């Protein structure tokens, strides 16, 4: 996500050297580079101009702080302005209305409307504990109605049937009556997409909007289309009272132009990011966190939230208790950790949120971490229980047997044992110093503004 922009920006920031106050010359040179980086990222021109003007004005006026170098000062200014360009503070989905809350999904064909309807339904069901009903008003393509039926089934929410040739407004009203009848909290209405913004399409969706008066009218847009995404969103916003935007396919977007332009061009907040094809690949949009990610500083808060949600708390607690009692960390614990990490989903999405993600990704370019984890688990599985508890028993003959059992080379068993020992040493340190010590250590390493606020 936004790799090109991140590497361009980090080069700009690295080029500001020295100590003391940021000079006007430095600011001008860095601003020129910033402009180039944003042009390459396909950000809309007025947004670039506004951004650069603000960065310059703010950088010229920064107070001298003893502790920060000019490079860090400039980074802070860019970080603040990026956050502002992305919308400032997060604007969560609004469901404050008499249920069922209606969410209308608008967008061009192929933008990811139906996929996002499924993702949003799952998010509402799992995270907000809402009862959701979905309906398709795409009366032109039977495949679209069928796609929503399948998506709803996959995420386990109710689906209201509709048919080609019916009147979209009548479908939506029937679905609303059904939602009321079954006490649904939320009704999500998927609509027809066209390949371009045409008058008929606009009239149809405007009629749906007028009949339903949704609490949220979300515009779904493909981030890969760069600043065009912002232009299309603007065209919709002129006709429809959009309340927010879902930016999709961000996982494949190396540039970031859409994310940076949408808010300024439309005046509407981005509410979610689609970051993959699967139903759980939806992230709430937090401007500050995305700004940090774009600047290569990671997004530790989202990482912590994601991890906390997906890790089996009971098992994690058991391991913590075991370590506290000074019990040995063994290969079964190690395997359990691997399984937990696998459970957290794509490694890519976790790594992306670490500070310095770009370097880590470059190092791991040719390494399939998920495959390696599966192999690690397979090797541990082919050990006896005794070997897992007492890894020191594993000498040459046993190594050969384990390797054969897992279908790997002895060298890979050795590699795993080394990795295990390193983890065990780290665990010992955490257990002796406690979590607080680890967090204090982390605080010293993280850039300002990145530690969770109290």
Ligand X SMILES: Nc1nc2c(ncn2[C@@H]2O[C@H](COP(=O)(O)OP(=O)(O)OP(=O)(O)O)[C@@H](O)[C@H]2O)c(=O)[nH]1
Bind-site residues: 107-114, 190-194, 248-251
Considering only residues 10, 31, 79, 114, which one is a binding residue for ligand X as defined by CB under 6 A?
Answer: 114
Binding region for ligand X (CB under 6 A) out of 106-114, 167-175, 287-295, 433-441: 106-114
Instruction: Say whether residue 296 binds ligand X (CB under 6 A).
Output: no
Least distance CB 282 / ligand X (angstroms): 8
Asked if residue 34 lies in contact with residue 9, where contact means CB atoms within 8 angstroms, the answer is yes
Instruction: Say whether residue 276 binds ligand X (CB under 6 A).
Output: yes
Instruction: Say whether residue 349 binds ligand X (CB under 6 A).
Output: no
Least distance CB 290 / ligand X (angstroms): 15
Binding region for ligand X (CB under 6 A) out of 104-112, 233-241, 306-314, 322-330: 104-112
187-193-195 Cα angle (round to 5):
165
Considering only residues 46, 92, 241, 252, which one is a binding residue for ligand X as defined by CB under 6 A?
Answer: 252
List the x/- string, 178-217, binding to ligand X by CB under 6 A.
---------------x------------------------
Instruction: Determine what percent of the chain falls in helix, strand and coil, rounding each to the nearest 5.
Output: 60, 10, 30
Torsion angle of the four alpha carbons 154, 155, 156, 158, in this order, in degrees rounded to the nearest 10: -100
Considering only residues 162, 232, 248, 279, which one is a binding residue for ligand X as defined by CB under 6 A?
Answer: 248
Using the minimum distance from each CB to ligand X, give the nearer residue, 71 or 274.
Answer: 274
Please, which residues have CB within 8 angstroms of residue 439's CB and are 6 or more apart in sequence? none
Least distance CB 260 / ligand X (angstroms): 18
Torsion angle of the four alpha carbons 393, 397, 402, 403, in this order, in degrees rounded to the nearest 10: 130
Binding-site residues for GTP, in ranges, read 107-114, 190-194, 248-251
Torsion angle of the four alpha carbons 338, 339, 342, 347, in this order, in degrees rounded to the nearest 10: -10
Asked if residue 82 lies in contact with residue 295, where contact means CB atoms within 8 angstroms, the answer is yes
CA–CA gap between residue 208 and residue 429 (Å, rounded): 60
Instruction: Say whether residue 251 binds ligand X (CB under 6 A).
Output: yes
Least distance CB 114 / ligand X (angstroms): 3
Binding region for ligand X (CB under 6 A) out of 39-47, 247-255, 260-268, 440-448: 247-255
Using the minimum distance from each CB to ligand X, give the nearer residue, 110 or 433.
Answer: 110
Considering only residues 79, 83, 111, 297, which one is a binding residue for ligand X as defined by CB under 6 A?
Answer: 111
Using the minimum distance from each CB to ligand X, give the nearer residue, 12 or 132.
Answer: 132
Least distance CB 142 / ligand X (angstroms): 11
Using the minimum distance from each CB to ligand X, give the nearer residue, 276 or 296.
Answer: 276
Considering only residues 10, 79, 85, 115, which one is a binding residue for ligand X as defined by CB under 6 A?
Answer: 115
Residue 91's SS3 state is coil
CA–CA gap between residue 158 and residue 179 (Å, rounded): 9
Using the minimum distance from each CB to ligand X, give the nearer residue, 69 or 109.
Answer: 109
Backbone angles phi, psi at 141, to 5 degrees: -130, 110
Q: Of 194, 69, 96, 85, nearest to 140 (Cα)?
A: 194
Q: Please work out the total of residues on this chain that contact ligand X, with binding judged by CB under 6 A.
A: 19
List the x/- string, 123-162, binding to ligand X by CB under 6 A.
---------------------x------------------
Using the minimum distance from each CB to ligand X, give the nearer residue, 193 or 355.
Answer: 193
Q: Residue 41's Cα: distance from chain center in Å?
A: 19
Radius of gyration of the chain (CA): 26
Least distance CB 40 / ligand X (angstroms): 22
Residue 217's alpha-carbon distances to 105, 165, 180, 269, 349, in angstroms, are 6, 24, 19, 12, 28
Q: Residue 345's Cα: distance from chain center in Å?
A: 12
Q: Of 429, 278, 260, nearest to 349 (Cα)?
A: 278
Per the omega criterion (within 30 degrees of 0), is the bond before 100 cis? yes
Binding region for ligand X (CB under 6 A) out of 111-119, 258-266, 369-377, 415-423: 111-119
Q: Using CB under 6 A as the criterion, which residues of the chain lie in contact with ligand X when the complex forms?
A: 107, 109-115, 144, 193, 248-249, 251-252, 274-277, 281
């Amino acid at each position: 996500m936004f790799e090109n922009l991140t590497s361009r920006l980090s080069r700009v920031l690295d080029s500001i050297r020295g100590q003391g106050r940021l000079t006007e010359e430095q600011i001008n040179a860095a601003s020129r580079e910033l402009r180039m980086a944003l042009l390459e990222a396909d950000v809309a021109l007025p947004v670039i101009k506004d951004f650069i003007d603000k960065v310059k004005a703010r950088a010229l006026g920064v107070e001298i702080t003893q502790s920060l170098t000019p490079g860090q000062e400039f980074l802070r200014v860019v970080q603040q302005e990026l956050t502002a360009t992305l919308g400032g503070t997060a604007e969560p989905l609004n469901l404050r209305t008499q249920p069922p809350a209606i969410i209308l999904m608008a967008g061009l064909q192929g933008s990811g409307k139906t996929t996002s309807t499924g993702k949003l339904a799952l998010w509402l069901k799992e995270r907000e504990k809402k009862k959701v009903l979905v309906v398709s008003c795409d009366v032109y393509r039977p495949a679209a109605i069928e796609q929503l039926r399948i998506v709803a089934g996959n995420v386990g929410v109710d689906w209201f049937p509709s048919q080609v040739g019916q009147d979209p407004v009548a479908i939506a009203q029937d679905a609303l009556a059904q939602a009321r009848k079954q006490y649904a909290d939320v009704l999500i209405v998927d609509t027809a997409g066209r390949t371009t913004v045409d008058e008929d399409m606009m009239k149809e969706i405007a009629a749906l909007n007028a009949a339903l008066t949704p609490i949220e009218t979300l515009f779904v847009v493909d981030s890969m289309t760069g600043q065009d995404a912002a232009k299309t969103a603007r065209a919709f916003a002129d006709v429809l009272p959009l309340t927010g935007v879902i930016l999709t396919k961000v996982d494949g977007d190396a540039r970031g132009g859409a994310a940076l332009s949408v808010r300024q061009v439309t005046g509407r907040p981005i509410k979610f990011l689609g970051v993959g094809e699967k139903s759980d690949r939806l992230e709430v949009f937090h401007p500050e966190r995305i700004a940090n990610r774009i600047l290569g500083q990671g997004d530790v808060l989202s990482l912590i939230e994601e991890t906390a949600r997906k890790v089996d708390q009971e098992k994690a607690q058991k391991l913590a208790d075991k370590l506290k009692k000074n019990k040995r960390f063994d290969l079964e614990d190690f395997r359990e950790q691997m399984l937990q990490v696998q459970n957290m989903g794509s490694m890519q999405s976790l790594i992306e949120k670490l500070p310095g993600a770009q370097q880590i990704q470059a190092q791991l370019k040719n390494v399939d971490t998920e495959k390696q984890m599966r192999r690690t688990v397979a090797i541990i599985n082919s050990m006896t229980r005794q070997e897992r508890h007492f890894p020191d028993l594993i000498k040459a003959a046993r190594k050969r047997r384990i390797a054969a059992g897992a279908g790997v080379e002895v060298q890979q068993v050795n590699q795993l044992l080394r990795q295990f020992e390193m983890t065990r040493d780290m665990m010992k340190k955490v257990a002796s110093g406690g979590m607080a010590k680890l967090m204090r250590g982390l605080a010293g390493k993280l850039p300002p503004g990145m530690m969770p606020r109290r």
